[in-house]
Amino acid sequence: MTRTTESQPETLSLFITGTDTGVGKTLVSAALLHALSRYHARVVGMKPVAAGTEECADGVPANDDVLALRAASTCAVPPGLDNPVLLPDPVSPHIAAARAGIRIDIAHLVACHQALAQLADAVVVEGAGGFHVPLSATETGADLAQALGLPVVLVVGLRLGCLNHALLTAEAIRARGLTLAGWVANQVDPAMLAQDDNIAFLQQRLQAPLLARIPHLRVPDPLAVQFHLPPAWQ
């Protein structure tokens, strides 16, 4: 969590990462914002680095993940705070940044988060891709997470190979000195066999609470996700 000033209450901040790209981090982040809004008046999502844009009706480029987080937030903030780095190409951030001639500055991203914490009661920060997604030739999303120092929520996409990916990611999170505050099981592959067995295994091995189990959703709907929030987040 991140403290603001002595005269203000503590701001709850969480970092959302995934076992891979395409596992539902944005769905989980938006759902978590809705869940937190039942206890906190001002909740806001943050996507520090977003890669891939489309032109909106007003002619302004936008990223779908960023728009989803804004729709789930209860307060509007300057776009330079909730999405400091917006990259045109839908590729790995280090490649997209190089193509755009942009250097991703982790210190700047941390400063933007600190500014958001002054404006909100709860901040949900969605990372890009998997935990170690490259942000530059020398830094990754893990470096960003470590610099932020926030409790981490891991989104596990339930599909073949997820056990290995989940355990490796949890190990990487803890190796950075971060707290794995909980995890979410998202049924991204409706045909996956032995889903209950996989979830039971991860409940034993991840040593963190299962915050939500999301069935396969043909149309992702954050309002359809039921979160079990720890008392400290309420």
Taking only the tens place, the pLDDT of each residue in 73-116 is: 999 999 999 999 999 999 999 999 999 999 999 999 999 999 99
Give, to the nearest 10 degrees, the angle between helix 64-72 and helix 25-36.
10
Cα–Cα distances in Å, from 19 out to 46, 49, 149, 173? 19, 17, 19, 11
CA 38, distance to chain mean position in Å, is 19
Q: How many CA atoms lie within 13 A of 219 on its CB side?
A: 1
25 annotated active-site: no
Q: Is the pLDDT confidence value at 1 over 70?
A: no
Cα–Cα distance measured from residue 160 to residue 191, given in angstroms and rounded to the nearest whole number: 10
Going by the DSSP 8-state scheme, the letter that residue 50 receives in this structure is E
Alpha helices, H only, 176-216: 195-205
Domains of the chain by residue range: 12-233
Q: Is the pLDDT confidence value at 172 over 80?
A: yes
Cα–Cα distance measured from residue 64 to residue 53, given in angstroms and rounded to the nearest whole number: 7
Look up the pTM and report it.
0.94
Angle at the Cα of 41 from the Cα atoms of 141 and 78, rounded to 5 degrees: 50
Cα–Cα distance measured from residue 180 to residue 87, given in angstroms and rounded to the nearest whole number: 29
Backbone angles phi, psi at 108, to 5 degrees: -65, -40
Residue of 130, 123, 121 lying closest to 109 (CA atoms): 123
- Tell me what the pLDDT averaged over the chain comes to: 94
Going by the DSSP 8-state scheme, the letter that residue 108 receives in this structure is H
* Options 25, 40, 47, 159, the catalytic residue: 47
Who's near 27: CB < 8 A, 6+ residues apart?
68, 186, 214, 217, 220, 222, 225
Q: Is the pLDDT confidence value at 8 over 70?
A: no
Q: Is the pLDDT confidence value at 44 over 50?
A: yes
Q: Which CATH number fits domain 12-233: 3.40.30.10, 3.40.50.1970, 3.40.50.10860, 3.40.50.300?
A: 3.40.50.300
